[in-house]
């Protein structure tokens, strides 16, 4: 144990010795810290220097050398790349050390730090501040240079140019001035002022040739001259640069530009030499100047007769041409390198490409060569090329034939647009040709096929005017009639159809004449001139009942007479169709006969007509459609059972776009037979087959509406509930839910109605009808008079997050009335009364109940103020109740005379409120009798109805 204690004492003694030694070792005086920092600063040990100066400022902030420590620390931070630390020190320096001489340089170093952080705007502010300190010219000139650079980085070239000019005019440091001159030249060059840039670069070359920036100055002089358009002088400058500067980032650019200028001057060997030298010196990797190199090489190779090399170069140019002119020339020249050899077809793509170029001469030669080569090789595409050649060379003797071949080719390939383009040339350039009418007609046909009826009208009309004796005149009139019919200009169309009929001979003009006359009648019918249509239809039928277009005429005559509601005459026309028409027409005719009886409400004969149509049907859809109409006819006379039989026959083939309606009608018949389960199954089938149908929920809803009209409210509720439960996601189910509440209310159960209205509103607070439903809810609550129900309704509506009082207002008012306007209601009522978004009637009622509450609380004066507002501004029952409230307030204050007078004012102010008038007169009579004024009480009694 003693040994352990001795060991512990030795340990603590050693620990104390170490701690004391460390304190002596790390404790440094201000002189030591400053001297250490200064030495580190001198040796370029920036991190050590900033650390020493930072400790000095932290441990000896009041030291007289603190400003120097802070300044040198900031500079050390900058040199060490810790720019933000430098900025943090420099920004606060002037305020901490306002008398320090280092303030003459602080802005400069702040600007440098911000410059390094790309904070150009704040750096510019700092440098600008430094330039205003004129005592130290060195720092001012450096700041000017950096300020100009900041403005350049901020794209404020005008300010940058002004700053550089100031430095050049006022500076003494030749290195800084040289830099300013160089930047000035760069700004002017980028600002598209090469003549001014040339002045700056020339000044640099002569006055500051010893500057490192002057090494490449001959290149910038060449660039300036090139942009000025002085190509020969620019080439000389490039030559000087290339012959004196062998290591420069601009040498590759200089070689390329020198080659371009040499090639343009037809110094092809020199140009190629420059490009070869450029290739030798260029580092591996992508070459941005490759397109320019190819253009220069191609031109020089072609001029020096190096065909293989030229082909390679032109191939490269075509991959990325400078413009359309260059692409055309390159393609044509490249094609020439293939002509005369065995691979002549290789020239065709390039000839076609050249044919698309802007130079007409090259284009014509290219197209002619390409078309000839393709035709000789058996390629039908040669017609396309020759068609282009013909269209672009109007004096060629082969032009019309070439264009005719082109039209045929494009029509065979179903290229209507190209066919029309060629036809336009034929119509325009060959009006005297014997084929001119055919060109116009064919162009009209193509236009009509493509939906351009206006263009078709022009061509057909021109035929009828200029070539009326040709075989195309009759068809042109018919086509014009068709176009105007399509435009719904039916009467106008009829005129052209009539002209076609006259050219063909009318009813005695064979198929063409009768067809044109039939078309005339149809146009009149569609144009509302049914009498004229019937007349022409009848002429066709009477002239030859079984002849061409007579059956169609008889049927459409029946349709016209049907629309004119001359049903007996329509039936006679339909019967002619049934005698002479084929099976399709027979069906439609019997179907039409059925409709004539249907319109005359002769349900039995209508069913018979539709039955005959079913027997004449040629396909399952026609038969099913006719059987459906049989069922509908039977249902119309209340024969639901037989109607169901035909509905089932019609629906069994599963065809027809009327199936949805038929399923609906079947369900309706089942509902009327009280076969509810089957009706529901049928409605389900309709919903499955037509998921977007809105008809299934309409069935129970419609039954509910019928029950409502009959006053059978309990049954109506059942149907509305069925609609809601069976089709919960439909819009009509939402309406049915609301109608169910109304039916319950109409049935006399106001409490149950209130529950339904409440549930509807709570489930659909965002529904456009929610506010109206809330008012119905409130009315039902008031009618039920159940305080518990009213309180629950208030809780429910208060839990809704609607953002306004439109839903809660009616419920609050109803609750307040039912509960006798409890004290806690006043705040709610005042809130409603002040809500200008609510209807004025609800705000007025809220104000009335608020006034009642004030009166009940004994604040009769306040209540009368509110009553007076209502009496003055709100007519009707609310105003009358307010007047009654004034009377009651006087009575409660023990002022019977004033109360009686207030009651007597009700009949004068609100005579239409008869129940309140009677109540007010009785109250006034009572007050007079209690006061012993029997005569006056008797007079009032005589006025009570």
The model's pLDDT over 387-433, given as tens digits with 9 standing for 90+, comes to: 788 878 887 777 777 787 777 777 777 888 888 888 888 888 888 88
Calpha distance 480→447 (Å, rounded): 12
In a domain, 432, yes or no: no
Q: What residue ranges in 763-882 does DSSP mark as E strands?
A: none
At 398 the pLDDT is: 72
pLDDT at 924 over 90: no
Q: Which of 48-57, 411-420, 503-512, 649-658 has the highest mean pLDDT?
A: 48-57
pLDDT in tens, 87-105: 999 999 999 999 899 999 9
Rounded-to-integer distance, Cα 66 and Cα 72, Å: 10
CA–CA gap between residue 916 and residue 884 (Å, rounded): 8
Q: Which two tokens stand for residue 565?
A: 């509601």
Range of the domain at 284: 249-320
Query: For 319-338, what is the HEC assignment?
Result: HCCCCHHHHHHHHHHHHHCC
Considering 69, 100, 131, which residue would you say is the last residue of a domain?
Answer: 100
* % of the chain with per-residue pLDDT over 70: 97
- How far apart are the C-alpha atoms of 896 and 898, rounded to whole Å? 6
Does residue 624 lie within any of the structural domains? Answer: no
DSSP run (H or E) holding 925: helix 914-930
Q: Which whole-number Å values give the CA distances from 213 to 176, 230, 271, in the listed order?
A: 11, 24, 28
Point out the domain boundary residue: 265, 297, 320: 320
Domain closes at, from 100, 134, 163: 100
* 676's tokens: 């509810």
In this prediction, residue 945 has a pLDDT band, given cuts at 50, 70 and 90, of low
Number of structural domains the chain divides into: 3
Residue 241 is assigned to a structural domain of this protein: no
Domain assignment present for residue 289? The answer is yes
Q: What is the DSSP letter of 394?
A: T
Question: In which band, very low, low, confident or very high, does the pLDDT at 21 lie, cut at 50, 70 and 90?
Answer: very low
In this prediction, residue 15 has a pLDDT band, given cuts at 50, 70 and 90, of very low
Report d(CA 422, CA 418) in Å as an integer.
Answer: 6
Rounded distance between C-alpha atoms, residue 242 and residue 231, angstroms: 16
Tokens for 778, please give them.
Answer: 């409130």
Q: In this structure, is residue 386 part of a structural domain?
A: no
CATH number at residue 884: 1.25.40.10
- The reported pLDDT for the residue numbered 457 is 87
State the sign of the Cα–Cα–Cα–Cα dihedral 438, 440, 446, 451: negative
* pLDDT(756) > 90: no
Distance CA 807, CA 774 (A): 6
Q: What pLDDT, on the 0 to 100 scale, is given for residue 340? A: 66
Question: Residue 936 domain-assigned?
Answer: yes
Mean pLDDT of 670-691: 82
pTM of the model: 0.47
The pLDDT value recorded for residue 350 is 82
Residue 113 lies in a domain: no
In the prediction, which pLDDT does 20 show?
37
pLDDT at 22 over 60: no
Q: Given this model, what pLDDT does residue 595 score?
A: 92
CA atoms within 13 A on the CB side of 673: 19
pLDDT at 46 over 90: yes
Give a yes or no: residue 139 inside a domain: no
Phi and psi torsions of 45, nearest 5°: -90, 80
With bands split at pLDDT 50, 70 and 90, how would you rate the model's confidence at 378? low
CA-based torsion, 160, 164, 165, 167: positive or negative: positive
Q: What is the pLDDT of residues 295-341, one digit of tens each?
A: 888 888 878 878 788 788 888 888 888 888 888 888 888 888 777 66
Dihedral angle over CA of 248, 252, 254, 255, nearest 10? 130
Close Cβ partners of 408 (under 8 Å, ≥ 6 residues apart): none
């Amino acid at each position: 144990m003693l040994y352990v204690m001795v060991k512990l004492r030795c340990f603590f003694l050693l620990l104390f010795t170490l701690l004391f030694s460390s304190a002596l070792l790390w404790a440094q005086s201000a002189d030591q810290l400053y001297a250490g920092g200064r030495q580190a600063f001198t040796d370029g040990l920036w991190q050590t220097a900033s650390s020493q100066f930072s400790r000095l400022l932290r441990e000896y902030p009041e030291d007289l050398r603190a400003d120097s420590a802070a300044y040198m620390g900031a500079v050390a931070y900058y040199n060490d790349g810790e720019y933000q630390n430098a900025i943090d020190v420099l920004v606060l320096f002037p305020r901490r050390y306002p008398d320090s001489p280092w303030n003459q340089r602080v802005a400069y170093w702040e600007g440098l730090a911000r410059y390094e952080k790309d904070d150009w705007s704040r750096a510019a502010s700092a440098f600008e501040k430094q330039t205003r300190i004129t005592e130290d010219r060195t720092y001012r000139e450096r700041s000017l240079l950096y300020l100009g650079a900041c403005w350049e980085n901020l794209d404020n070239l005008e300010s940058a140019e002004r700053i550089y000019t100031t430095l050049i005019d006022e500076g003494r440091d030749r290195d800084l001035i040289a830099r300013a001159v160089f930047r000035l030249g760069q700004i002017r060059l980028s600002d598209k002022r090469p003549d001014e840039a040339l002045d700056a670069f020339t000044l640099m070359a002569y006055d500051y040739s010893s500057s490192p920036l002057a090494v490449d100055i001959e290149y910038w002089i060449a660039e300036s001259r090139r942009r000025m358009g002085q190509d020969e002088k620019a080439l000389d400058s490039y030559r000087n640069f290339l012959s004196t500067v062998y290591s420069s980032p601009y040498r590759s650019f200089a070689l390329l530009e020198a080659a371009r200028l040499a090639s343009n001057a037809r110094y092809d060997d020199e140009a190629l030499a420059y490009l070869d030298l450029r290739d030798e010196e260029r580092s591996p990797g992508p070459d941005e100047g490759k397109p320019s190199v190819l253009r220069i090489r191609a031109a020089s190779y072609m001029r020096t007769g190096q065909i293989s090399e030229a082909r390679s170069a032109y191939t490269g140019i075509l991959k990325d041409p400078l413009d359309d002119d260059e692409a055309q020339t390159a393609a044509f020249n490249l094609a020439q390198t293939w002509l005369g050899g065995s691979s002549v077809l290789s020239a065709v793509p390039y000839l076609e490409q050249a044919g698309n170029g802007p130079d007409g001469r090259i284009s014509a030669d290219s197209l002619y060569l390409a078309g000839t080569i393709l035709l000789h090789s058996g390629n039908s595409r040669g017609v396309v090329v020759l068609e282009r050649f013909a269209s672009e060379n109007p004096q060629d003797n082969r032009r019309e034939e070439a264009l005719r071949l082109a039209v045929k080719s494009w029509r065979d390939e179903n290229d209507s647009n190209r066919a029309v383009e060629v036809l336009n040339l034929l119509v325009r350039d060959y009006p005297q040709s014997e084929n001119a009418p055919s060109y116009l007609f064919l162009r009209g046909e193509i236009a009509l096929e493509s939906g351009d009826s206006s263009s078709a009208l022009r061509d057909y009309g021109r035929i009828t005017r200029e070539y009326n004796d040709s075989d195309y005149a009759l068809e042109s009139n018919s086509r014009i009639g068709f176009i105007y019919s399509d435009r719904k200009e039916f009467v106008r169309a009829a005129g052209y159809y009539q002209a076609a009929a006259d050219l063909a001979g009318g009813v005695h003009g064979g198929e063409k004449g009768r067809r044109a006359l039939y078309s005339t009648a149809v146009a009149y019918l569609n144009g509302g001139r049914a009498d004229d249509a019937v007349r022409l239809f009848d002429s066709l039928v009477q002239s030859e009942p079984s002849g061409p277009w007579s059956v169609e005429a008889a049927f459409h005559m029946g349709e016209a007479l049907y629309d004119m509601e001359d049903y007996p005459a329509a039936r006679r026309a339909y019967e002619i169709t049934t005698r002479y028409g084929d099976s399709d027409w027979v069906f439609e005719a019997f179907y039409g006969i059925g409709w004539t009886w249907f319109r005359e409400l002769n349900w039995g004969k209508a069913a018979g007509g539709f039955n005959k149509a079913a027997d004449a049907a040629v396909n399952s859809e026609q038969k099913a459609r006719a059987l459906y109409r049989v069922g509908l006819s039977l249902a119309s006379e209340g024969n639901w059972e037989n109607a169901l039989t035909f509905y089932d026959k019609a629906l069994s083939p599963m065809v027809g776009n009327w199936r949805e309606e038929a399923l609906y009608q079947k369900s309706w018949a089942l509902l009327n037979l009280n076969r509810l389960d089957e009706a529901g199954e049928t409605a389900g089938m309709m919903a499955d087959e037509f998921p977007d149908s809105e008809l299934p929920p309409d069935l129970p809803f419609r039954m509910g509406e019928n029950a409502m009209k009959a006053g059978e409210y309990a049954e109506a509720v059942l149907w509305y509930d069925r609609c809601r439960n069976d089709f919960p996601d439909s819009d009509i189910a939402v309406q049915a839910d609301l109608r169910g509440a109304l039916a319950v209310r109409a049935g006399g159960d106001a409490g149950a109605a209130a529950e339904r209205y409440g549930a509807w509103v709570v489930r659909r607070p965002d529904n456009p009808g929610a506010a109206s439903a809330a008012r119905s809810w409130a009315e039902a609550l008031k009618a039920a008079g159940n305080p518990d129900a009213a309180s629950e309704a208030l809780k429910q509506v208060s839990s809704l997050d609607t953002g306004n009082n439109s839903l809660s207002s009616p419920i609050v008012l109803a609750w307040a009335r039912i509960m006798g306007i409890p004290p806690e209601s006043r705040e709610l009522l005042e809130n409603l009364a002040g809500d200008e978004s609510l209807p004025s009637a609800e705000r007025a009622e809220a104000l009335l109940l608020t006034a009642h509450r004030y009166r009940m609380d004994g604040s009769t004066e306040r209540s009368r103020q509110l009553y007076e507002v209502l009496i003055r501004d709100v007519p009707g029952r609310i105003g009358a109740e307010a007047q009654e409230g004034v009377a009651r307030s006087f009575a409660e204050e023990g002022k019977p005379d004033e109360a009686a007078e207030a009651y007597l004012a009700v009949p004068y102010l609100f005579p239409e409120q008869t129940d309140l008038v009677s109540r007010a007169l009785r109250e006034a009579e009572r007050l007079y009798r209690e006061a012993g004024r029997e005569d006056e009480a008797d007079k009032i009694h005589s006025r009570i109805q």
